[in-house]
Amino acid sequence: MVIVITVATLFADAGSRAAIVYFPDPIRDIVGTAMVALPLVGLLGSAALIGGAPLLADFYQEPRLTNIAVAMAGLPLLAALTVVPDALLQRRLDLKIRRGVVDPASVTLSGVAVIALAALGAEEWSLVIGLYVGAAINLMGAWYLARPLRAMGRPSFATWRRIGRYGRHLLAAHLLEVVEGQAPVIALGRSLSATSVGLYSMGDKLATLPVVGIARVAGEVAFPALSRLRDDIDRFRKAFLDSFQLLAMLSIPACISLVVLGEPLVAVIFGERWRAAGEVLAVLSIWAAILWIAELAREAFKAAGHPKRVSWNGVVETSTLIAAIVGLAVFGSITLLGVAAARVLAAAAVSAMSVWSMRAVDIVGFRDLAKAVRLPALGGAAQLVALDLAMRIPLSGVEGWREVFGLDLGPTLPALILFAVLGAGLAVYLLALEFAEPRSGRRLVSTLRGIAGAAA
């Protein structure tokens, strides 16, 4: 059901968000056209969901889904109404309140609504209402902050076609991303069990944190910033390489920490029965450590006016993943770690494609990228060796260290030890940066403080 809503929401966007950010001033006519067209597309998505509700119920063999699907049909429209104000905020680089206040309020109040209604016996309807609460808060917050009506110009079919020529490739890429995200779940569900799907999904969510929390948030800022520099290739290239190095410095240590400590952390925090999810997390953290390259490259392609490269990257990533999963199925080797490894292979393929494409369209060459990533890669290697040695020798079996002087502390002691090791690993990373290039570690800490201060 969530997949259907996601697809309907993507069509409601249709690449318009990126087009509003990308096109140079004046954009009043683009905003006006999107303000008229997108709600209509959202209404079509809502109508399609209502019309297809019985088919969804038949597919899942659950009659109650008919009424639930009809009740959720308003979500694509709410999403469509949020696209333009969100795009204007991103274009203005005015995301502090949107991401720092509105988003947390949406998640919190939506969760409160779900819990309260479930406690009152609303069952599945509590989830439906919770989704509407979150969507409504996002809509009201975006409209209040962006004031899109003040930026409206005259809508026209010619402008809509202009938006479509740019946005269609991004729509295709987003649809492929949905396929890429669901293919492992479908493969595991058909070949193994619902338990395996749950274990994989948990590991996937945890491994996605560095990608969503670092790469995609950075991309949300990089895209409008780079779009303003697209006519000055030297400044564009410098800004991209600066972003590339900063993203590498943040993503690599976060992912390496999870590669080594993911399994024991999950086993300690969530319980031994979730250890397999920790194993998935460790493998998918390698995926995250590679994928950030493609994530940032996507923003560069969009900003440079090459959206077709984004869709081709989606084709490479999705086709590689499906081919790998089919190969596993042919040899009867569908396992949790096998499917996770298939995603690592897909990430490597799309990142390699991204590097080649950036050179092909003269954004940046391989040598410049290698130079930018050299320092964080050296720091990450030192961090990896230190963490691996610590977990193999003095801290082997730390998950079972639960007693002190005969007092059973439960998971508290091993959790504290693992978080202390995580902090020590990050310290090794910073020291390695300082050793390789004096003051680089201190510059990174200073940059992070500046980012935190700007977000406060």
Distance CA 80, CA 52 (A): 19
Residue 348 in contact with residue 290, Cβ under 8 Å? yes
Q: For position 379, what pLDDT does the model report?
A: 94
**Torsion sign (Cα): 44, 50, 52, 56:** positive
Pair of tokens at residue 375: 């320092």
Cα separation of 191 and 246, whole Å?
A: 41
Q: How far apart are CA 413 and CA 393, in angstroms?
A: 18
Task: Identify whether the C-beta of residue 184 lies closer than 8 Å to the C-beta of residue 325.
Answer: yes
CA atoms within 13 A on the CB side of 116: 9
Residue ranges of the chain with pLDDT lower than 70? 1-12, 14, 59-60, 211-213, 400-410, 447-456
pLDDT at 207: 87
The domain locations on the chain are 1-151, 176-373
Alpha carbons 139 and 134: distance in angstroms, whole number: 9
Tokens of 321: 């993943």
Q: Tally the C-alpha atoms within 13 A of residue 141's C-alpha that lie toward its C-beta.
A: 22
Q: Which of 65, 40, 42 is nearest to 54 (CA)?
A: 65
Q: Name 125's Cβ contacts closer than 8 Å, sequence gap at least 6.
A: 68, 71, 117
Q: Give the amino acid at 334.
A: I
- pTM for this model (two decimals): 0.85
What DSSP designation does 25 have? Answer: S
pLDDT of residue 378: 94
Find tokens 């999705």 and name the residue. 318
The pLDDT score that the predictor gives to residue 455 is 46
Report phi then psi at 288, rounded to 5: -65, -35
